[in-house]
A and B are shown apart, each in its own frame.
Chain A
Amino acid sequence: MTITSLPVPAQAPAAAPNIAELGLRESATFDRATIADIQRAAATGVYDIRGWGAKRKVPHFDDLLFLGASMSRYPLEGYREKCDTDVVLGDRYASRPLHLATPVTIAGMSFGALSANAKEALGRGASEVGTSTTTGDGGMTPEERGQSKHLVYQYLPSRYGMNPDDLRKADAIEIVLGQGAKPGGGGMLLGQKITERVAGMRTLPVGIDQRSASRHPDWTGPDDLEIKIGELREITDWKTPIYVKIGASRPYYDTALAVKSGADVVVLDGMQGGTAATQQVFIENVGIPTLAAIPQAVQALQELGMHRKVQLIVSGGIRTGADVAKAMALGADAVAIGTAALIALGDNDPRYAAEYSALGSAAGFYDDFQDGRDPAGITTQDPELSSRLDPVAAGRRLANYLRVLTMEAQTIARACGKSHLHNLEPEDLVALTIEASAMARVPLAGTSWIPGVQGSF
């Protein structure tokens, strides 16, 4: 999508200032973005493909508030009294679970979708603060493994670059069943980004459009998955934790089946989760918000007696330490960030404003990751563009950001009287809207009412 299809005042046509004077009224149904989408579709005959996650407004963590301590709760002293942040992931069956210093991890993003420098920077930033990063739909690069203290190896339907040597090098294996941006969808990497190196890793001809299957080739349901997980455990001698990643659509059932299949960790990706390239209609219309997904997954874990035994990592729209704390209060053991991590590296940096403009976009709006012309050098395979990203400096920015997320979450947890982020609980939260209250299953602020869960106030 280019900025011409977005209702941005700064980029609006010159006639825009006269709209109010003329008494013109924009249609809520056919707003300017919708009109632009229709015009684009009519002109090209092809649906819009873009990166990033859902841009529509859905109930989110902003619709929740924390109840800090006053009389009925006793707060901890800020910056002085200890509030731990570490988390152990994958100790259900694996003999080598991950022990991370912060519960904020980096979500799977592929080499191919991202440049090698960007992948290296993710590894550097994550390692600096003692957390993990994750490969993606393209295999493991030496740069990424070399710079990642804790590296999670994604096991995807496409199995691009999949090999047992890398499997054994991984600190955890994440079996990807779905992605929040596109539950039920396969992958799409347009030919512009299939360079010689990417093609070699994926066993594809250079320059063609890469298609990834939406389902795994050698198992067809949870009973098969249980056997598949058994195979992966056998190959890695039961040392490596096995994650199962699901796109948020039916998280109650999917979480229960992942547990039944033997997962050590469930990764739940809400609809605000990002993607490198998918049909916009898919991104905006398939899946459920992260806020709505967490309580369902937690309920499944609790009913099975597996909450905190099978860990839950939540991703999809995590931006601040408040989001981290809210996800954990709802029952997550850790969170993963993708889009926010790219922004921390330098994605959509205003210093490339002129170049974004030349691409028909603007800093803060650029989402044509599939084109491979990212001025920030992150979502590209162009050698000149990718060389703009210094992996050391970018890694430092990411580490700074991860530290801020952790400290912000700690600040909130102390205010709620918690000595560990994992001690946050739904009782610490209220909702601002009825919709968020119903989805998150916490009371509407100032009431004891949770729509759909208990009686009226």
Chain B
Amino acid sequence: MVTLTAPEATAPALDGPTVVDLSGAPVRDLNQALHNAADGQSWTVTNPGGKHSLAVGINADATVTIEGHAGYYAAGMHQKGTVTVTGNAGVGLAENIMSGTVHVKGDASQSAAATGHGGLVVIDGNAGARCGISMKGVDIVVGGNIGHMSAFMAQAGRLVVCGDAGDALGDSIYEARIYVKGAVASLGADCIEKPLKAEHLAELAELLAAAGRTDNPADFKRYGSARNLYHFHVDNSTAY
């Protein structure tokens, strides 16, 4: 086991994961080491204890496994590589993710993958409110349910929900696409159900496979923008 003690930690050898024990090392040391990382390196983080800002700003094709629960903003602004959280994740999981993969095996709190521009975020369990809020190209696959106001102002990307969705799904949505297998409590302003065509079944199958799931794409419904809010009109004033 290697316990990092200096901000400018030495990059690990390529023959196995470097273990960072957060019961002793501060998060600052972990992140500085990850910012110094090279492609192909791997890391295991033990005793995360729900600490915030774990593995944020990674810009190398590295693999990081967080063994346990993560606090706010785990894998925030992720750019390359893969981060896996074996427990639950707090608010703002993978916020503003640009590329790469972030996988949570437990549940995620609110604002998961908020404003994400690209990459894939997989949540095996449930996600809280505002999942995919303002998403800008990220793909999100949630194995369980999602909370209210999810995909609010979602601009681009795909949100797949294998369970149920809370109130006001897709409120003020732009061009993002939403697929829900279970019940939707209510749709937000300008969000409507849309036909599930062959191309949608194909992209849904691809997303489910990427997330390691075996759900049947035909069991889902598709939601998207009615585009009534794209131009200000007095008749839509109650929707603003």
Contacts and interface: CB of A to CB of B under 8 A. Distances in A.
Contacts of A211: 153, 172, 229
A237 B133 contact: no
B224 interface: no
Given A163-B98, A208-B231, A230-B52, A218 B91 contact: yes
B133 A217 contact: yes
Contacts of A191: 230-231
A221 B35 CA distance: 29
B134 interface: yes
B115 interface: yes
A159 B35 contact: no
Interface string B81-123: 0000000000110011010000000000011001101000000
A203 B136 CA distance: 6
Interface in A167-209: 167, 190-191, 202-205, 208-209
A234 B56 contact: yes
A162 B116 CA distance: 9
Contacts of A208: 174, 230-231
A46 interface: yes
A38 interface: no
A203 B155 contact: yes
A158 B28 CA distance: 28
Interface string B1-17: 00000010000000000
Interface residues of B, number: 44
Interface in A209-263: 209, 211, 213, 217-219, 224, 227-228, 230-231, 234-238
Contacts of A219: 91-92, 111
Given A203-B117, A211-B229, A46 B72 contact: no
Interface string A379-413: 00000000000000000000000000000000000
B130 to A, nearest CB: 7
B232 A190 contact: yes
B21 interface: no
B134 A235 contact: no
Contacts of B162: none
B57 interface: yes
B191 interface: no
A444 B208 CA distance: 71
A217 B73 contact: no
B91 A235 contact: no
A45 interface: yes
A164 interface: yes
Contact of B32 (A167, A228, A237): A237
A211 B152 CA distance: 12
A196 to B, nearest CB: 15
Interface majority SS (helix, strand, loop, mixed), chain A: loop
Contacts of B232: 46, 190, 209
A94 to B, nearest CB: 14
B147 interface: no
A203 B53 contact: no
A41 to B, nearest CB: 11
A208 B172 CA distance: 13
Given A159-B96, A191-B231, A224-B72, A213 B32 contact: no
A191 B155 CA distance: 15
B52 A203 contact: no
A92 B153 CA distance: 35
A45 B232 CA distance: 11
B115 A218 contact: yes
B64 to A, nearest CB: 14
Given A45-B234, A162-B115, A235 B77 contact: yes
Contacts of A238: 28
Interface in B35-85: 35, 52-53, 56-57, 59, 71-73, 76-77, 79
A167 B52 CA distance: 19
Nearest to B136: A203
B230 A159 contact: no
Given A230-B53, A237-B32, A164 B79 contact: yes
A234 B59 contact: no
Interface string B184-203: 00000000000000000000
Contacts of B229: 209, 211
Contacts of B110: 218
Nearest to B92: A218
A400 B203 CA distance: 57
Given A191-B231, A219-B91, A159 B28 contact: no
B146 interface: no
Nearest to B110: A218
B76 A235 contact: yes
B73 A231 contact: yes
Nearest to B77: A164
A44 B117 CA distance: 38
B207 interface: no
B132 to A, nearest CB: 10
Contacts of A218: 73, 91-92, 95, 110-111, 114-115, 130, 133
13 contacts: A162-B96, A203-B155, A208-B231, A213-B152, A217-B133, A218-B73, A218-B95, A218-B114, A218-B115, A231-B53, A234-B57, A235-B76, A237-B31
Given A204-B155, A217-B130, A218-B95, 5 more contacts: A44-B234, A209-B232, A219-B91, A231-B52, A234-B28
Nearest 8 Cβ contacts at the A-B interface: A235-B57, A218-B111, A218-B92, A159-B115, A208-B230, A164-B77, A217-B133, A203-B136
Interface of A: 44-46, 158-159, 162-165, 167, 190-191, 202-205, 208-209, 211, 213, 217-219, 224, 227-228, 230-231, 234-238
Interface of B: 7, 27-28, 31-32, 35, 52-53, 56-57, 59, 71-73, 76-77, 79, 91-92, 95-96, 98, 110-111, 114-115, 117, 130, 133-134, 136-137, 152-153, 155-156, 172, 174-175, 229-232, 234
